[in-house]
A and B are shown apart, each in its own frame.
Chain A
């Protein structure tokens, strides 16, 4: 049994290193999955903000149309400077709101993408650390064996 001890130790070291690497790989995979989800969330954020911008522009246009109609009904012409200024403000406000929606969406998407990149980096780190830990485990066993038989 005593003669088999070094081989058992080496086998244990191999298993430990393998386990460490497999564990790290699994964790890296999970992190990469999280990154992919975040990327997907970023896309969604952008799409949502674009839809919101369009809605803001549509609401502003609808309000301008209402104003034109009401101006016409009241008798004042649509080309009345007051009306024109008013309507121009509404259009400007709508654009502003649309752009604000786009901005917010873009910001959220970029934030998600940044998170996704961080997860990928984490995945890489985990994988590298797993390999190093595996090597470390083998080194530890090797030194122990070297100390005993070297």
Chain B
């Protein structure tokens, strides 16, 4: 039988096998990790914030402490109570530290802050101590300076040199004390110099300024030890100069007054005893009764004795001194001895009688040279420089005197002139005081002026006088100004006289030259070269020769006319140009046109002399130009005279 199949024919029996693997989520922690990262970041952020807050707290605390430190030190800067600086600083900083500590929450930071600020506080305290020390020094030096100021105020008015010396010494002691207290030695040295040399020099200078030269010398001697060499030399020089000046001025005063003044009667007895200590004065002033009694006794015969006025002194003969020496000594001391008698026979016993007068030795000088000569005699040892200075001073004084005198005279003449106009020209009916004030040299002129007023005839200009005056004004203005206008009042008409007075005022600086017309000097400076070029001059003519006089008068007349014509042109120019003053060029233009040749009949003359029709010889281009302009207006060709008139007018525009 065939084999039956069995289970074994199905092969190896399969076994149920579980291949299931563990299914795990590999990134189960991914979310947690991410969340953890966020957490870490938040934690880091929080830590950072805390750290920052701690730092901020620390900084705030430190700032608060430093602010307190600065504030406290600023307060102390201007606080005079330097003795309590340290204590107050400690207290203030202690409080400030507590306040600052309370602002720090982190314990370790608090401890760090305490350590950190201990050093700051110690440093601050050290500086406060320095400040207190400096303040103390400054206060003590300030007290010293105040003392010096007080001393200075007192020393400035010190009554005597001993007080001055003591003041300087005291100042020196104060300064020494200030040095000991810590004052800067350089400043102290300056102060000492200021107080020594400066004060001494100031005191001496003050006396020199007051004119107390003797006092200045004495003070300088007393304070010499405090003066620097430089200051001493300078003051000495200054004092010498001042004394010389004073002496010179004294001598100049004396000379101007007529000489050195003599001693006053009251001072003579003291001069006698000063010069001759052994002199014994037996008689000075006597009453009339005493003099009468002496006459009655036969002791003297003098009824008008100088003793009656106190101007005489009798002395017993002085041992060792001759009578001549005695008299010479008194004279040299300024006693104006008028009587000197060696009386041995009189009843009053042997005595030397000397009488004197008070007053001046000579008469005042009349000019600088005289004054200098008198000065030389008074001051024989004067140096050339001294004489030069004296001469300058004399010249100034004479000038001042002269100016004052001139002014007085001028005022007197003007017053008298006005009074003459008021009273109709009667000089002799003027009050005597008015006439007396007018110097005699003007009397004739005043009378002539009065006569012209009385006659009613106004004075006419004398061309000679006018030309002479205008030439003087142009060439010698000072000399012209020195003339009193009354001197030429009767030789000029009103207009010319006023013109001369205005010119004089201009020279004397009394007129407003800006608005005044052109000066005579300016006009002369333009026309003189022109007229001389045309031969219109008196050069070579002798006014003392009778044959030349008519020629001179004729030329002066023409010059006068020229000047007047030109002044008239200038007047028109000024009317055409209000407020302006013609310059030299304008005047030159006008003068040129006046000086052109002008033929009238058979005579050729200058333009300014032409009258009526004539033939002018102006430059041809100008003639043609003016003719061309005038012809259409006139309707004909203008005449030569018409063209000339236009030519002149052109210059006056």
The answer to whether A114 and B20 have CB atoms under 8 Å apart is: yes
The answer to whether B13 and A132 have CB atoms under 8 Å apart is: no
The answer to whether B7 and A132 have CB atoms under 8 Å apart is: no
The answer to whether B30 and A126 have CB atoms under 8 Å apart is: yes
Residues on B with C-beta less than 8 A from A13 are none
When C-beta atoms are compared, the residue in chain A nearest to B28 turns out to be A125
When C-beta atoms are compared, the residue in chain B nearest to A101 turns out to be B14
Residues on A with C-beta less than 8 A from B1 are 70, 73-76
The answer to whether B4 and A108 have CB atoms under 8 Å apart is: no
Contacts A70-B3, A121-B25, A140-B41 given: A100-B19 contact, CB under 8 Å? Answer: no
The answer to whether B38 and A90 have CB atoms under 8 Å apart is: no
The answer to whether B25 and A100 have CB atoms under 8 Å apart is: no
The answer to whether A125 and B25 have CB atoms under 8 Å apart is: yes
**Docked CA distance A90–B11 (Å):** 11
Residues on B with C-beta less than 8 A from A90 are 5-7, 9-10
The answer to whether A93 and B13 have CB atoms under 8 Å apart is: yes
The answer to whether B27 and A136 have CB atoms under 8 Å apart is: no
Interface flags, B20-40, vs A, CB<8A=1, else 0: 110111111011011101100
Interface flags, A109-150, vs B, CB<8A=1, else 0: 011001101100110011011101101100110010011000
List B17-73 residues whose CB lies under 8 Å from chain A: 17-21, 23-28, 30-31, 33-35, 37-38, 41-42, 44-45, 48-49, 52
* Interface residue? A83 (CB, 8 A): yes
* Interface residue? A59 (CB, 8 A): yes
* Interface residue? B545 (CB, 8 A): no
The answer to whether B21 and A104 have CB atoms under 8 Å apart is: no
Minimum CB–CB distance from B24 to chain A (whole Å) comes to 6
The answer to whether A139 and B20 have CB atoms under 8 Å apart is: no
**Docked CA distance A63–B28 (Å):** 52
Contacts A63-B9, A90-B10, A100-B16 given: A73-B2 contact, CB under 8 Å? Answer: yes
List A58-75 residues whose CB lies under 8 Å from chain B: 59-60, 63-64, 66-67, 70-71, 73-75
Minimum CB–CB distance from A91 to chain B (whole Å) comes to 10
* Interface residue? B15 (CB, 8 A): yes
The answer to whether B48 and A125 have CB atoms under 8 Å apart is: no
Contacts A100-B14, A111-B23, A114-B23 given: A132-B35 contact, CB under 8 Å? Answer: yes
Residues on B with C-beta less than 8 A from A122 are 25-27, 30
Minimum CB–CB distance from A109 to chain B (whole Å) comes to 10
> Which residue among B10, B13, B15 has the maximum number of chain A CB atoms within 10 Å of its CB?
B10
Q: Which 4 A-B pairs have the closest CB atoms?
A: A74-B1, A114-B23, A132-B34, A143-B45
Please, could you name 27 A-B residue pairs with CB atoms under 8 Å apart, sorted by A?
A: A56-B14, A67-B4, A70-B1, A70-B5, A73-B2, A74-B4, A90-B5, A90-B6, A90-B7, A90-B9, A90-B10, A94-B10, A97-B10, A101-B14, A103-B16, A107-B17, A111-B20, A111-B21, A117-B23, A118-B23, A118-B25, A125-B30, A132-B31, A132-B37, A136-B37, A143-B45, A143-B48
Residues of chain B touching chain A, judged by Cβ–Cβ distance below 8 Å, are: 1-7, 9-10, 13-21, 23-28, 30-31, 33-35, 37-38, 41-42, 44-45, 48-49, 52
Residues of chain A touching chain B, judged by Cβ–Cβ distance below 8 Å, are: 56, 59-60, 63-64, 66-67, 70-71, 73-76, 83, 86, 89-90, 93-94, 96-97, 100-101, 103-104, 107-108, 110-111, 114-115, 117-118, 121-122, 125-126, 128-130, 132-133, 135-136, 139-140, 143, 146-147
